[in-house]
Amino acid sequence: MGRRGGRGWHGRVLTAAVGVTAVAAAASVWTAQAGPVAGEDARPAVSARPAVSAHPAVPGARPQDPAAAPVSADIVHASDRGARGVNITIDDGPDPVWTPQVLRVLRDNGVKATFCMVGTQAEAHPDLVKAVVAAGHRLCDHTVSHDTAMDTKPESYQSRQILDAEHMITRASGGVRPQYYRAPGGAFTPYSRRLAASRGMRPLGWNVDTKDFERPGTAAIVATVENQVGNGPTVLFHDAGGDRSQTVAALREVLPRLKQRGYSFGFPVR
């Protein structure tokens, strides 16, 4: 979801212990991108630290699986389609009512998106996770219970939230791993970014917060995207957590409009 201060998303928190040793030997530690980009703008810049010379194999990962290889811990916003690229990202699902409708609009417009899934939702709706993957979209770890205050919690808690959700999403998808990690409400920490990156999940920010979770009206959502897309390529929508009819309607309007303005749709750079 969007910045902290929006509505919360509450779910159960897994309590099974998960080791955090992978992050101790994480690959290069990067600073967060400079500038007022959402997903990190309320937090001070992270100081650079020396890179670690080696990284252990990711437990359970296959060498040929590109999603398993360690990636940068820098929060990404850029699109793989370049300066005129747009990344559509969909948070908080999957949801049995709204995710199929979002998928239909994306299919009708020939657009691929990144779905940032909550672990408990993925576990409850594995058919929808598989449908997202089958349609050519990418998966993103959005933690187990969407705790927007997780950056104030112990590292052991952050680890459980991230790693348990990764496993839940991977199981639900039939073995396809999340390629990104998005902290709830932008509540990244240096630790959580390094941990996600060590598992092959690039930390993912956003540039345009549509505020669709506040249900401001379809026209307002469309206007926000059109007015702010010049600020950066990654646009935040939601497909769960309440009535998302305005989101579906806004996507139906704004996707063809962006195409008419010369934008193309891609994925966040990994």
Active site residues: 91, 238
CA 185, CA 262: separation in Å to the nearest integer?
Answer: 30
CA 232, CA 82: separation in Å to the nearest integer?
Answer: 11
- For residue 103, how many other CB atoms are within 10 A of its CB? 21
Encoded tokens for 152? 């104030």
Strand-pairing partners, residue 242, are: none
User: Helix/strand/coil (H, E, C) string of the chain?
Assistant: CCCECECCCCCCCCCCCCCCHHHHCCCCCCCCCCCCCCCCCCCCCCCCCCCCCCCCCCCCCCCCCHHHCCCCCCCECCECCHHHEEEEEEECCCCCCHHHHHHHHHHHCCCCCEEEECHHHHHHCHHHHHHHHHCCCEEEECCCCCCCCHHHCCHHHHHHHHHHHHHHHHHHHCCCCCCEECCHHHCCCHHHHHHHHHCCCEEECCCEECCHHHCCCHHHHHHHHHHHHHHCCEEEEECCCCCCHHHHHHHHHHHHHHHHCCCEEECECC
Residue pair 252/107 in contact (Cβ under 8 Å)? The answer is no
